[in-house]
């Protein structure tokens, strides 16, 4: 392991992170709030980053360095992102701050705060801005801003990008990340204007746009989007949540004028079918509760979009819905968004691959001599990719089960424990019962909060990089 290189990359990323804190600092100054928490955080993060980036190293970048660096960076980014919360004094402990920051960067949106409306604007802005940064990836930003990281930054991008098969849009990695960030920022700006147009206040629309763009879900109202009570806002949010959970390469293809190729994506079709089916089923199920057909479809669509995109906003308290609807939502927490989007969880393309692999297995048993390949978008999927998809799924499930066991020590109901873990590892945000859309995570013990924070990072980085960080052999020099 080339630790010097890992530290240098980490240092550069922390420097970029400290620069991003200038924006919430600006918000502080505009609203005439106390800028000291941010000044301290910038000084500490920037200082540590500068010291680490001064380490001299060669550029021999191999996959293990990439994975190791990404996992380490996400832990440290969480720790540094927590500093403004810690210094502002409104949080009970540093563990709470760490949980909140990790929840922000991993675009989970689970909060330990019982009351958010009284927080200063700067802190509210930072919470949502973390979603925006974490959505596309902290390292992708670093690569886009600092191409000088050395030749083989691709390993970093690979470790951070979601989805079973990572492909670039254009030949150069740094160019690729610039295009992705361009699409991302462009869509976010459009969203800010649309939300303003449908009647959301300026500050709220900026902050909520960040939360939706990163598919995070930190709300700035205690009862989330329901607080606005406006169907138009809910519909706009639904549309944008769905847009941000589509693979960004689809948008790239559309921008290049290859609309037909873009719409041919199997994953996109699967995603839309799942969204439509869930919406219809939930609409019928909650019809008797809600009363009108329009309202039930609107609420069903909002909640489905919110959960499958792993945003986690709520337009109503779905914890009160019938069991069938709640179960559908929990299943959606496992499926998650498309690969290559800002959403989390297992990802539609993996679910699709697994279903097709199962179909192949059955066919193989019926016709033992038949040779079958698994295809996605009309292309044969390599057996190695298929294998890693299966391993990912198994690891995801094992880690979920282990985390449930660890969190159950706190002695909350099974529904609370189970959905808390599922929602954290899927980077969704709300669960059911105590951690439902109107609840929060403050009642958990410090230990559980750390376990859940780890689940969030495991989920965001798609497990394997974090396991590399904790495997003993990766730490050895040779």
Interface mask toward other proteins for 214-253; x: CB under 8 A: ----------------------------------------
Which of 209, 353, 231, 221 has the alpha carbon at shortest distance from 299? 231
Smallest separation, CB 420 to other proteins (Å): 37
Alpha carbon distance 460, 454 (integer Å): 10
CB 14 within 8 A of CB 59: no
Alpha carbon distance 308, 320 (integer Å): 19
Task: Using DSSP, state whether 84 is helix, strand or coil.
Answer: helix
User: Which of 143/403 has CB closer to other proteins?
Assistant: 143
Smallest separation, CB 459 to other proteins (Å): 25
Which of 279, 321, 284, 318 has the alpha carbon at shortest distance from 300? 279
Interface with other proteins, residue 468, by CB under 8 A? no
Angle at 396 between CA 390 and CA 400, to 5 degrees: 150
Smallest separation, CB 167 to other proteins (Å): 8
Residues recorded for the chain: 478
Both ends of the chain: CA-CA distance in Å? 7
Smallest separation, CB 153 to other proteins (Å): 8
User: Which of 365/371 has CB closer to other proteins?
Assistant: 371
Q: What is the number of other CB atoms lying within 10 angstroms of the CB of residue 36?
A: 12
Smallest separation, CB 386 to other proteins (Å): 12
Which of 301, 300, 238, 247 has the alpha carbon at shortest distance from 270? 247
Alpha carbon distance 24, 27 (integer Å): 5
- Which member of 53, 57, 90, 175 binds other proteins (CB under 8 A)? 175
User: Which of 210/392 has CB closer to other proteins?
Assistant: 392
Task: Using DSSP, state whether 295 is helix, strand or coil.
Answer: helix
Smallest separation, CB 263 to other proteins (Å): 17
Smallest separation, CB 177 to other proteins (Å): 12
Choices 164-172, 240-248, 295-303, 363-371 (CB under 8 A): range interacting with other proteins? 164-172
- Which member of 6, 77, 173, 468 binds other proteins (CB under 8 A)? 173
Interface with other proteins, residue 330, by CB under 8 A? no
- Which member of 154, 314, 435, 463 binds other proteins (CB under 8 A)? 154
Which of 346, 341, 427, 337 has the alpha carbon at shortest distance from 107? 427
Number of residues forming the site for other proteins (CB under 8 A): 15
Which residues, at least 6 apart from 314, have a Cβ–Cβ distance to it below 8 Å? 223, 224, 225, 226, 302, 303, 306, 430, 437, 438
Which of 170, 166, 199 has the alpha carbon at shortest distance from 183? 170
User: Which of 166/289 has CB closer to other proteins?
Assistant: 166
Return the DSSP state at 381.
P
User: Which of 123/149 has CB closer to other proteins?
Assistant: 149
Residue with tokens 């179909």: 359
Interface with other proteins, residue 63, by CB under 8 A? yes
Choices 74-82, 149-157, 293-301, 468-476 (CB under 8 A): range interacting with other proteins? 149-157
- Which member of 60, 172, 363, 387 binds other proteins (CB under 8 A)? 172
- Which member of 170, 293, 401, 409 binds other proteins (CB under 8 A)? 170
Dihedral over Cα of 434, 439, 440, 443: its sign = negative
Which residues, at least 6 apart from 472, have a Cβ–Cβ distance to it below 8 Å? none
Structure tokens at 254: 């559309």
Choices 87-95, 169-177, 415-423, 452-460 (CB under 8 A): range interacting with other proteins? 169-177
Which residues, at least 6 apart from 244, have a Cβ–Cβ distance to it below 8 Å? 135, 187, 212, 213, 214, 215, 309, 311, 337, 341, 342, 343
Interface with other proteins, residue 363, by CB under 8 A? no
- Restricted to residues 368-407, the positions that interact with other proteins (CB under 8 A) are 379, 382, 384
Interface with other proteins, residue 153, by CB under 8 A? yes
Angle at 217 between CA 282 and CA 122, to 5 degrees: 155
Smallest separation, CB 162 to other proteins (Å): 18
User: Which of 35/63 has CB closer to other proteins?
Assistant: 63
Structure tokens at 13: 């990323």
Smallest separation, CB 392 to other proteins (Å): 18
- Which member of 155, 178, 299, 347 binds other proteins (CB under 8 A)? 155
Choices 96-104, 134-142, 172-180, 277-285 (CB under 8 A): range interacting with other proteins? 172-180
* R_g of the chain, CA atoms, integer Å: 22
Q: Which helix (H) or strand (E) holds 375?
A: strand 375-376
- Which member of 19, 40, 53, 152 binds other proteins (CB under 8 A)? 152
- Which member of 151, 182, 199, 291 binds other proteins (CB under 8 A)? 151
User: Which of 179/213 has CB closer to other proteins?
Assistant: 179
Q: Which residues lie near other proteins (CB under 8 A)?
A: 63, 151-155, 168, 170-173, 175, 379, 382, 384
């Amino acid at each position: 392991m080339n630790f010097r290189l890992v530290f240098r990359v980490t240092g550069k990323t922390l420097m970029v992170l400290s620069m991003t804190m200038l924006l919430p600092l600006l918000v502080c100054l505009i609203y005439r709030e106390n800028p000291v928490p941010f000044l301290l955080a910038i000084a500490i993060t920037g200082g540590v980053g500068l010291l680490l980036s001064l380490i001299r190293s060669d550029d021999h970048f191999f996959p293990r360095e990439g994975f190791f660096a990404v996992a380490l960076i996400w832990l440290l980014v969480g720790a540094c992102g927590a500093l403004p919360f810690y210094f502002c004094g409104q949080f009970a402990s540093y563990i709470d701050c760490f949980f909140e920051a990790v929840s922000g960067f991993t675009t989970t949106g689970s909060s330990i705060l019982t009351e958010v409306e009284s927080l200063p604007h700067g802190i509210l802005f930072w919470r949502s801005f973390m979603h925006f940064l974490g959505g596309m990836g902290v390292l992708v930003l670093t690569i886009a801003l600092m191409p000088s990281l050395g030749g083989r930054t691709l390993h970093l991008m690979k470790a951070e990008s979601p989805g079973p098969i990572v492909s670039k849009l254009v030949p150069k990695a740094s160019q690729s990340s610039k295009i992705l960030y361009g699409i991302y920022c462009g869509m976010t700006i459009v969203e800010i204007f649309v939300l303003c147009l449908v009647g959301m206040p300026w500050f709220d629309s900026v902050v909520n746009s960040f939360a939706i763009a990163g598919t995070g879900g930190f709300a700035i109202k205690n009862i989330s989007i329901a607080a606005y009570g406006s169907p138009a806002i809910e519909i706009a949010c639904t549309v944008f949540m769905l847009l941000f959970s589509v693979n960004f390469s689809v948008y790239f293809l559309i921008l290049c004028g290859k609309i037909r190729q873009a719409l041919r994506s199997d994953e996109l079709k699967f995603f839309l079918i799942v969204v439509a089916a869930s919406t219809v089923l939930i609409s019928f199920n909650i019809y008797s509760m809600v009363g009108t057909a329009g309202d039930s479809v609107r609420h069903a669509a909002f909640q489905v979009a919110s959960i499958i995109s792993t945003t986690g906003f709520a337009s109503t308290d779905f914890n009160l819905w019938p069991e069938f609807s709640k179960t559908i939502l929990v299943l959606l927490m496992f499926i998650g968004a498309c690969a290559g989007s800002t959403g989390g969880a297992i990802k539609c393309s993996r679910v699709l691959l697994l279903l097709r692999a199962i179909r192949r297995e059955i066919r193989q048993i019926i016709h033992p001599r038949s040779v079958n390949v698994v295809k996605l978008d009309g292309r044969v999927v390599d057996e190695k990719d298929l294998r890693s998809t299966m391993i990912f799924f198994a690891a995801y499930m094992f880690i979920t089960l282990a985390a449930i066991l660890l969190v159950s020590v706190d002695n909350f109901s099974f529904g609370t424990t189970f959905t808390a873990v599922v929602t954290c590892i899927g980077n969704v945000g709300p669960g059911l019962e105590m951690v439902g859309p109107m609840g929060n995570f403050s009642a958990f013990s410090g230990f559980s909060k750390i376990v859940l924070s780890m689940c969030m990072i495991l989920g965001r980085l798609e497990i394997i990089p974090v396991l590399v960080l904790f495997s003993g052999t990766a730490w050895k020099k040779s």
